[in-house]
Chains A and B, each alone.
Chain A
């Protein structure tokens, strides 16, 4: 038996079915110890169900959950060495903060002096020293969330499960707590499994993200890779603005780039499977699109018209209509220079080949891309 580090979680062929509906459909994940791992997806994608199965509140229909190599699928929740921070905090309303945080320790029959010491330590960690005698109803949302965190962390679990803990807080507090949570995780060093539907939150905090849709995992990758190299249309669209455009792929151009035909324009996509062919989608991030004066020449240039100019403070967002009829978003950082493209200006949209990505469209059932052939062979 391979001995793993403390807090290693593995999900094997995990399925949760409610009658004919599969809320979680064959998930295989390995989360090494000490990682901040996020499950990201929209409502109903199965991320919360997965988390609840790891915690033990739901029984999987099929599959195994392993903690540090030990199968704990059959273990009841009060015997698992994992703790949860709930979306609604679930602080016991009839107990004050000290008793709430001490609850788990007392169940484990820890000696009372030790309980006092560890509770004080946990409250200091979440910056709530002095709140011991308060009742949950007398505290703000952010404070309640921190008590919930302290209550879970004081037990020094191998894995901490967080179910959208920042959902009920206002934007500014949320941003502050995101940084605090990340710092805390690095400080304490335990595995965090974090469920959220907010992609910015996932990108900010995680070491790796798993994007889920309809019970399946679409892609697992570190944030940068997830954003820069989305594997599927769903992932590209979910994270940030994707500027998806339907195109026809025509295989490799001999130099590792895929030839795509967007309406009547021939473009070269430097990312994604270069030998793809058939109906696909291409995507480019709004900050990578370059707008040039009307009439400029070169590869990957399409004439367009600026339709709308939106001022975002730190950047300017331009809604641009291409000659193909597609509408895309372009983001230009506010560097202090004048941006010459006002509403109604005709421009040339340049998609640098190294930023243009051809994608597999899992929803459209596009024919699978061919295996990459040897370099130099014509498609």
Chain B
């Protein structure tokens, strides 16, 4: 009987070897990937959670925890809370106003641009495609300064103001919308348009009845992403700002940290987070409700991610 050579049994492997085997297990769950993902997620979200935590601080410090107070900085404090401080409120409204206008203008324009670019088969299509991607790769400071100079020397009828800020936001949001919509258009393919034309639909009817309904998930994604980048924008908003009245939340937070920041600033930022979360969650459920007919019956198909569902990719 021949002896079969075996490796060291489980108890005999060193602790290091066992730890490696547990992490790099090729047959079971990819523990290594899971660990990395969780570490990344936690390191990204932890600062945000700490900032939100301090918005509930009972004292005036943004770094030393002095106890829990639910409402002091939101509406409790008579001079410094968000509810009572006019500068913080105007920043909040300005941010929301810009984001709203940006969504309302950039999304339809971006959809039309994406459709045009996708169907353009003549001269200039390559150049337009390339130019349209420029804002995505241009550093924000370059965009901000250029826009400022353009409004200063070229389009002098536009002064630094909300209008200028809106124009700036729309300019760089367009690229994001076009990229998302074009991706979705590409994955839809031409078959539905051809089928609609074959059945007698004019190009306008095809757009209205077939393309736009199918693009809805991507349009939703674009709205959410435009909202997010507009709220987040600092450089362009600051360069095109007219002073106090045009300040957005990032600008307000930046100036506050220069002086003596209060937790009311944390509260302001936290309100933005709540807003964004609420918008995303409601958009997601709305989307799932609207497309309930497009998913195979329960049991078919694998897990889908939220982003994948939105049809952005």
Contact = CB atoms under 8 A, between A and B. Distances in A.
B130 to A, nearest CB: 23
Contact of A137 (B197, B213, B296): B296
Contact of B197 (A77, A94, A151, A152): A77
A104 B293 contact: no
Interface string A135-152: 101100000000000011
Interface string A104-125: 1001100000000000000000
B289 to A, nearest CB: 13
B198 A84 contact: yes
Contacts of A137: 293-296
B191 A78 contact: no
Interface stretch (B41-49, B57-65, B199-207): B199-207
A137 B177 CA distance: 28
A92 interface: yes
Contact of B205 (A83, A107, A152): A107
Query: Looking at chain B, what size class is its interface with the partner chain?
Result: 20 to 34
A267 to B, nearest CB: 52
Contact of B201 (A82, A107, A138, A152): A107
A249 to B, nearest CB: 49
A103 interface: yes
Most buried by B among A76, A90, A103, A151: A90
A94 B214 contact: yes
Given A83-B199, A92-B210, A96-B293, 6 more contacts: A76-B197, A88-B191, A92-B195, A108-B200, A152-B198, A152-B199
A200 to B, nearest CB: 27
Interface string A44-86: 0000000000011100000000000000000011110011101
B143 interface: no
Contact of B196 (A56, A94, A103, A152): A103
A92 B191 CA distance: 10
Contacts of A91: 195
Nearest to A154: B199
B213 A84 contact: no
A137 B295 CA distance: 7
B194 A57 contact: yes
A104 B200 contact: yes
B192 interface: yes
Contact of A78 (B198, B214, B295): B198
B194 A93 contact: no
The 4 closest A-B pairs by CB, nearest first: A104-B199, A90-B195, A90-B191, A107-B200
Nearest to B300: A137
Contacts of A82: 198
Contact of B198 (A55, A92, A94, A135): A55
Given A96-B293, A137-B296, A90 B192 contact: yes
Contacts of B192: 90, 92
B191 A93 contact: no
Contacts of A217: none
B297 interface: yes
Nearest to A88: B191
15 contacts: A56-B198, A57-B197, A76-B197, A77-B198, A78-B200, A78-B203, A90-B191, A90-B195, A94-B294, A107-B200, A107-B205, A108-B200, A137-B293, A137-B294, A155-B200
Interface string B273-313: 00000000000000000010111110000000000000000
A118 B291 CA distance: 28
A108 B199 CA distance: 9
Contacts of B202: 78, 107
A84 B195 contact: yes
Contacts of B196: 78, 92, 103
A149 to B, nearest CB: 13
Nearest to B296: A137
B287 to A, nearest CB: 13
A78 B210 CA distance: 14
B218 to A, nearest CB: 13
B194 A86 contact: yes
B290 to A, nearest CB: 9
Nearest to A79: B200
B195 A93 contact: no
B294 A151 contact: no
Most buried by B among A82, A88, A92, A96: A92
B199 A86 contact: no
Interface in B152-211: 191-192, 194-203, 205, 209-210
B191 A86 contact: yes
Nearest to B292: A135
A103 B213 CA distance: 14
A151 B209 CA distance: 16
B204 to A, nearest CB: 11
A84 B200 CA distance: 11
B312 to A, nearest CB: 18
Contacts of A86: 191, 194-195
B297 A138 contact: yes
Contacts of A78: 196-203
Nearest to B199: A104
B143 to A, nearest CB: 37
Contact of B214 (A56, A88, A93, A104): A93
B104 to A, nearest CB: 24
A93 B210 CA distance: 9
Contact of B294 (A83, A93, A108): A93
Nearest to B301: A137
A135 B294 contact: yes
Contacts of B214: 93-94
B61 to A, nearest CB: 54
Interface in A354-374: none
A104 B294 CA distance: 21
Contacts of B201: 78, 103, 107
A375 B5 CA distance: 88
A155 B296 contact: no
A103 B214 CA distance: 16
A358 B293 CA distance: 60
